[in-house]
Amino acid sequence: MTRRFAALGCVLLLVTAGCAGIGGQTTTAPPQTTADTTESTTTKATPKTESAEQLAPGVTAGDVEDPEALADAHRDALDSGFVKQTTAGWTNESTTRTWNQTFAVENESVWQLTTTGENEPIAFDVTNGTLDSYAGGEYALWQIRNDTAGNTTYGVRSITVDGARLPIPPDQFFENNNYQILYERGLVYSLASNVDSVDALDGSEGAIELSGTAADPPTAFTQSSEVEFTMTVTEDGLATVIDLTHESGDGTVESTITFDTDVTDPVEQPDWYETALNETGLNGATTGDTDAQGSRPSRPV
Give the domain extent around 61.
2-280
Would you list the DSSP string of the chain? -EEE----TTGGGSSSTT-B-TTSSB--PPPTHHHHHHHHHH---PPP-TTSPEEETTEESS-BS-HHHHHHHHHHTTTT-EEEEEEEEEE-SS-EEEEEEEEEEEETTEEEEEEEEEEEEEETTEEEEEEEEEEESS-EEEEEEETTTTEEEEEE-EEEETTEEEEPPHHHHHHHTTGGGGG-HHHHHHHHTTEEEEEEPTTSTT-EEEEEEESS-SSS--SSS-EEEEEEE-TT--EEEEEEEEEETTEEEEEEEEEE---SS-----TTHHHHHHHHT-SSS--TT------------
Residue 297 forms part of a structural domain: no
Provide the 10 A C-beta neighbour count for residue 236: 13
Residue 142 forms part of a structural domain: yes
Q: Give me the number of domains the chain comprises.
A: 1
Residue 9 forms part of a structural domain: yes
Residue 183 forms part of a structural domain: yes
Q: How far is CA 259 from CA 84, 122, 249, in A?
A: 5, 22, 29
Residue 139 forms part of a structural domain: yes
Question: Which distant-in-sequence residues (6+ apart) come within 8 Å of 90 by Cβ?
Answer: 22, 23, 96, 97, 120, 248, 251, 252, 253
How far, in Å, CA of 219 to CA of 255, rounded?
A: 11
Pick from 252, 204, 255, 253: which is nearest to 232 by CA? Answer: 204
> What pLDDT is recorded for position 122?
86
**Ordered per-residue pLDDT tens for the chain, 301 residues:** 443 332 223 323 233 333 334 554 333 333 333 333 333 334 444 444 455 688 999 999 889 999 999 999 999 999 999 999 999 988 888 878 899 999 999 999 999 999 999 988 888 789 999 999 999 989 999 999 999 999 999 999 998 888 888 999 999 999 999 999 999 999 999 999 999 999 988 767 779 999 999 987 765 544 556 899 999 999 999 999 999 998 877 788 899 999 999 999 999 999 999 999 999 999 864 443 344 333 444 444 3
Cβ atoms of 258 and 244 within 8 Å: the answer is no
Residue 247 forms part of a structural domain: yes
> What pLDDT is recorded for position 51?
54
> What pLDDT is recorded for position 224?
57
Cross-strand bridge partners of residue 51: none
Instruction: Provide φ and ψ at 91, rounded to 5°.
Output: -135, 150
Q: Is the pTM of this model over 0.85?
A: no
Residue 184 forms part of a structural domain: yes
